[in-house]
A and B are shown apart, each in its own frame.
Chain A
Amino acid sequence: MGENTIVWEVFIQSKNGLAHKHVGNVHATDKVMALENARDLYTRRNEGSCIWVVKAKDIVSSESEDSEAFFDPSNDKIYRHPTFYNMPDGAKHI
């Protein structure tokens, strides 16, 4: 668009029942234009059944530099995974 228009991040639900997935962004001055630009740019081949657009500046992201510390609380909790448990031989459907 130019003249530093607003950047909108685009999320597309490819099929009813699936989660919206980030696909990229568009420039637009308002939300209707953002949706229409996203449609024209990201769904030219029936890639979508629903589109979300979110102003990029409203997205809060964790920092990749401290991702280790940030995700640390889950590192040592292997008992959250089913493979942690010993199942008796012969037990089925569990």
Chain B
Amino acid sequence: MSDKIFQEKIDAEKKIEPKDWMPEGYRRHLVRQISQHAHSEIIGMQPEGNWITRAPSLRAKMILLAKVQDEAGHGLYLYSACETLGVTRDELIQQLHDGNAKYSSIFNYPALSWADMGAIGWLVDGAAIVNQVSLQRTSYGPYSRGMIKICKEESFHQRQGYEIMAEMAKGTPEQKEMAQDALNRFWWPSIMMFGPQDSDSPRTGNAMKWKIKRQTNDELRQSFIDKTVPQAEVIGLTIPDPELKWNEKRGHYDFGEMDWEEFWNVVNGHGPCNKQRLAHHKRAHDNGKWVRNASQAYAQKQEKILKS
């Protein structure tokens, strides 16, 4: 009975709130998806954080700092949304450290040159935005509200990346080459951020029925490609896909086959930076333990003083 009422609510485009009844599968799906999303924002700070001290100008450094700080904020909004489903933040962090929770594979690729800051902002944030804009309409209230806030903040992320790419593309031949190289390395991993093709994505069914997801992986990927190809043309860079071609009949770009073997390899922990990213997060978390303990001791002391 509850199942039926729940589905009617979903079908009527009503949001589900934390205290509402929900099927266990819905809750589980959300915890997995939202925590994965949160971890991605947090781990995603690492490749960019790596370049803050080496930004080529003060302007670039301030922008990158602000962007990375935003990503920390996005992680926190999402952890909050996830906690409304009855899981604690400590449990979420533990799942990440145990390898039971995943994060977006894109962050397991290294950021080798300054141009990568351009490629990440333009392509990785660009792909994330396409996904997040769609998720603003997700059926779970706290997740939807988090997405709305995140989307407002994301718009500068993609622009600052595209600006870097545009500047480098019209710089010296070496700079243009760096930009092209960054695009070559980040293109395929970026379009694989949308996940497996619909034909082999077993969980999409319920996620669409429950309106957790509003568009399929393939729809989102296509929309990202359609937006991005003309942007590459504007700045004179070439997308590394010989099969990329406008299809008049479909009204979309056709594109080449993605390397799913590599995708699953990276998802399953064998990407270039999987170990490093997780080890860094654990180290930072462990090194911060004394600060958390001290602040707790301080709070207890203050409370005692107030009571006496």
Contact = CB atoms under 8 A, between A and B. Distances in A.
Contacts of B299: 29-30, 33
A54 interface: no
Nearest to B142: A24
Interface in A1-59: 1-5, 7, 23-27, 29-30, 33, 40-41, 44-45
B93 interface: yes
Interface residues of A, number: 22
Given A4-B88, A41-B76, A29 B296 contact: yes
What's the dominant secondary structure at chain B's contact region? Answer: helix
A25 B80 contact: yes
Contact of A64 (B19, B83, B288, B302): B19
B19 A44 contact: no
Contacts of A24: 77, 80, 145-146, 149
A10 to B, nearest CB: 10
A30 B298 contact: yes
A36 to B, nearest CB: 11
Most buried by B among A29, A44, A64: A29
Interface residues of B, number: 29
Given A30-B302, A64-B19, A5 B80 contact: no
B17 A64 contact: yes
Nearest to B145: A24
A68 to B, nearest CB: 12
A63 interface: yes
Given A1-B89, A2-B89, A2-B285, A33 B295 contact: yes
Contacts of A27: 89
A2 B90 contact: yes
Contacts of A64: 17, 19-20
B19 A3 contact: no
Interface in A57-80: 61, 63-65
A33 B295 CA distance: 9
A61 B17 CA distance: 13
B264 interface: no
A5 B292 contact: yes
Contacts of A25: 80
Given A29-B296, A29-B298, A30-B298, A7 B70 contact: no
Given A2-B90, A61-B19, A41 B73 contact: yes
A63 B93 CA distance: 30
Interface in B141-160: 145-146, 149, 153
A26 B76 contact: yes
Contacts of B80: 24-25
12 contacts: A4-B89, A24-B80, A25-B80, A26-B76, A29-B295, A29-B296, A33-B299, A40-B73, A44-B66, A63-B19, A64-B20, A65-B21
Closest 3 CB pairs of A and B: A30-B299, A29-B299, A29-B295
Interface of A: 1-5, 7, 23-27, 29-30, 33, 40-41, 44-45, 61, 63-65
